[in-house]
Structure 1
Amino acid sequence: ATPNVNDATNTIDLKLTGVTDDAHNPGVGSVSSANYTVDTRPADTTGPTTATIALTNSALKAGQTTTVTITFTEPVSDLDVSDFVVPNGSLSAPTANADRTVWTSTFTPTATPNVNDATNTIDLKLTGVTDDAHNPGVGSVSSANYTVDTRPADTIGPTTATVALANSALTAGQTTTVTITFTEPISGLDVGDFVVPNGSLSTPAANADRTVWTSTFTPTATPNVNDATNTID
């Protein structure tokens, strides 16, 4: 038999036209044997060593679920939820396709509200599954990253900020830095949003997360200003 072959459907076919009887008449047609199988693969002594874990949706919000698909390179048995580590959520019992190479489950984010975690992976311990030769899997695999944010929907804009001057007693020729600090990232801040008595602001610039903005305050150029009561609004 040919080495390293696995074929369940084979017959030996004989062309009778290649033989003659004692009267020198050639044969007619052909005949076939019954079916035979050939499996000359080496013995299977190694369990599953790899799989892929894919989430249909990798950015979960409150009330959402998503399908998780686990794909193996050979049929496996015994896959269940205890084989997984699932941060900020849980899996339903995995179900297999007909040849047990593709399994699916439903991921449900943790019911506790106000979870906001941008770094998560589903981990699978392959030692919990076996192949058809009853070899246990080896090692573990992880999904790509997914995020979970079950905080209530944000429907209220910024309601507070602080406005601080580095120097609050300006004399002729001086300027000072104004720092505006918000409790959440904001957009759209410009000089048109301010009322600035006896001076002006440069265009505000934001830090990386847009919670702290800075500007330069320059007193009014007109000389002989003396005002002890001013606020930037």
Structure 2
Amino acid sequence: TITLADSVLTAGESTTVTITFSEPITGLDPSDIVCPGGTLSPPTANTERTVWTATFTPTANVNAGTNTIRVNLAHVRDDAGNAGTDIASSTSYSVDTTRPTATVALADSTLTAGESTTVTITFSEPVNGFDASDIVCTSGTLSPPTTNTERTVWIATFTPTDNVNAGANTIRINLAGVTNAAGNAGTGSASSANYSVDTRPEDTTGPTATLTLADTQLTVGET
């Protein structure tokens, strides 16, 4: 029989797999074991060689709801030399090690005085825990983001700061602050493409000039 200590595995987790034989056996090695969705350490036996344990580590970025660990019994033998037959399987376990990612897009990337623009943040899967504290934007402010029903697309309005001239800006999302349905947090950050802000007041005054003379008392021979 094959049992997993944890049958719902998420990013960063591992679990103990216990393989219990009906009698002492020899010949069990990793080549006899199939474990989808992850890797298994070499199994080690108790003194009686009836209970073998190993550590199952899920593969990164996998989402598989139905998996079983299978042992090929034909490759193990009891002390009388009898080989097992058929396959032993564990009960089903799930693996979800995906982490949410995101893209950030501005409807307008060249912002001037009096303008604002829509910012669309699209996640790779539904997320929880996302709010304004996860967002850094330069040369302006962002309204609290609102989501669609699926919690994959979030919309906010970016309003530039007055009297600013900044050609290089990005909106960045801290992905560590959001989790998917399995509880896996994102890593790193997602950034928008560059946008510019120039909200200086428009100059509507024409040019003026002043004229000065170095000498205002001019006589013969002077300039």
TM-score (norm 1): 0.49
Partner of 2:96: 44
Q: 1:151: which partner in 2?
A: 200
Q: Give 1:1-233 correspondences, 5 Å limit.
A: 39-40=65-66, 43-48=95-100, 50-110=101-161, 113-159=162-208
- Equivalent position of 2:23 in the other structure: none
Give 1:39 deviation, angstroms: 4.1
Q: Deviations over 1:182-207 (max 9, x none)?
A: xxxxxxxxxxxxxxxxxxxxxxxxxx
Q: Which has the larger radius of gyration?
A: 1
Higher-RCO chain (CA-CA 8 Å, sequence separation at least 6): 2
Going from structure 1 to structure 2, the CA distance change for 1:127 and 1:160 (only over 3 Å counts) comes to farther
For structure 1, list consecutive stretches of 5 or more residues without a partner in the other structure. 5-37, 162-227
Distance in 1 (alpha carbons) for counterparts of 2:193 and 2:105: 7
Is the 2:163–2:198 Cα contact (8 Å) retained in structure 1? Answer: yes
Gaps of 5+ in 2: 1-35, 38-63, 68-93, 211-221
RMSD: 2.6
Instruction: Tell me the SS of whatever aligns to 1:43.
Output: strand
**1:35-78 C-alpha deviation (Å, 9 max, x unpaired):** xxx94275113421x21100011111122111100011111111
How many positions carry a matched residue from both structures?
127
d(CA) in 1 for partners of 2:201, 2:158? 20
Q: Secondary structure at the match of 1:40?
A: strand
Q: How many angstroms apart in 1 are the aligned matches of 2:132 and 2:209?
A: 46
Cα–Cα, structure 1 residues 97 and 157, in superposed 2: closer, same or farther, change >3 Å? same
Question: 1 or 2, which has the higher strand percentage?
Answer: 2
